[in-house]
A = this chain, B = another copy of it.
């Protein structure tokens, strides 16, 4: 890989805070921190390994609470330098954890229900979290161009973050995306390249680019910076627990695209327990998929360890990854914690978007509809205990997927501006 040698991990200028190495998730082999993502020994995925401060959980908790109201309050637990806040960044995170009492009543949840609403991030999806960490890794490695393959949310997040942080960007999307997503990806002024092909074709092309001299100095957030990028999702776990008053919830319902977010949330929860920041107790992790792209849910229900790829066909396009890289790990976590993986069809996704909107005033994108729809189904099928405390994650904003609800969402009535017309319409 050409970019692998751009900035050796031994360089004195790099500072990854508590991160000390990359570690293979499969064989455990360790590598110096660098812009690499696959184990040289077994081709397994690499993830960031840390040496955390220990012995003073109260001091660490105080330090976090005194930090900024964004993900950098958790800098001591992330692969970023301690002075990360001094660098220009979109500063995502610390989004609202909404106590969803009205939704709880509709669903029969009595143990407490919260929505972690990541539509409040700068570009209105959780992608701002993962990109923010990738940007700091790119800075550390001396990379100059930020890139990604994307179906929308990630392209916008990378475009905006590159601008703020002072990078060039060149982002790749399938050429036939919805106009709105293209505008959002293009408006920040970086290079936006439409690829004549599917998302899989875009991905393959990006892998080719990384190996070519053209790609030298490029950081692909979700390819060669993936180990760092993924760590951004841990902040969802940290925030949920801190916002609950430094404790674990009973259940978390998380949408699955590649499955990375779910596995990193579990990693984050485990870290909080190990560091003594929350008391250990059992929790259950639930994964949510759309029926039209449900490889992990299908495997879970069949009792398989292997995830069989599918050809996606769902309105939840931000979750439409037919061959999810972290699928097997998701199965492990759901089974280990006593959770489940479930799916809902597109009609149920739309109904769930509307349910969340009319009960809590939160307008979610289709991925959020998948999560709420699955939460409902898990309760109805007895897989999730309504007397337990549950957190569901809304990963994006309804303004990004208007088409999903537009055909069935409109005015109650259209009338002339008179009181008589108002009464005649049955409104008065």
Contacts and interface: CB of A to CB of B under 8 A. Distances in A.
A358 to B, nearest CB: 3
Given A180-B399, A196-B414, A354-B187, A161 B361 contact: yes
Interface in A84-111: 88, 90-91, 94, 96, 99, 101-102
A82 interface: no
Given A179-B402, A184-B399, A188-B358, A101 B123 contact: no
Given A205-B417, A418-B205, A187 B405 contact: yes
A182 B411 contact: yes
Contacts of A204: 417
Contacts of A419: 208-209, 212, 214
B122 A160 contact: no
A398 B399 CA distance: 10
Nearest to A398: B187
Contacts of A195: 414-417
A208 B161 CA distance: 49
Given A91-B96, A358-B163, A413 B193 contact: yes
Interface in A400-415: 400, 402, 405-406, 409-415
A163 B361 contact: yes
Contacts of A425: 193
A202 B417 contact: yes
B194 A359 contact: no
Number of copies: 2
A7 interface: no
Interface residues of A, number: 80
B183 A406 contact: yes
A189 interface: yes
Contact of A359 (B122, B163, B409, B423): B163
A65 to B, nearest CB: 12
A63 to B, nearest CB: 18
A197 interface: yes
7 contacts: A90-B361, A162-B361, A191-B427, A192-B412, A193-B425, A214-B428, A399-B399
Interface of A: 69, 88, 90-91, 94, 96, 99, 101-102, 120, 122-124, 156, 159-164, 166, 170, 173, 175, 179-180, 182-184, 186-189, 191-197, 201-202, 204-205, 208-209, 212, 214, 353-354, 357-363, 397-400, 402, 405-406, 409-419, 422-423, 425, 427-428
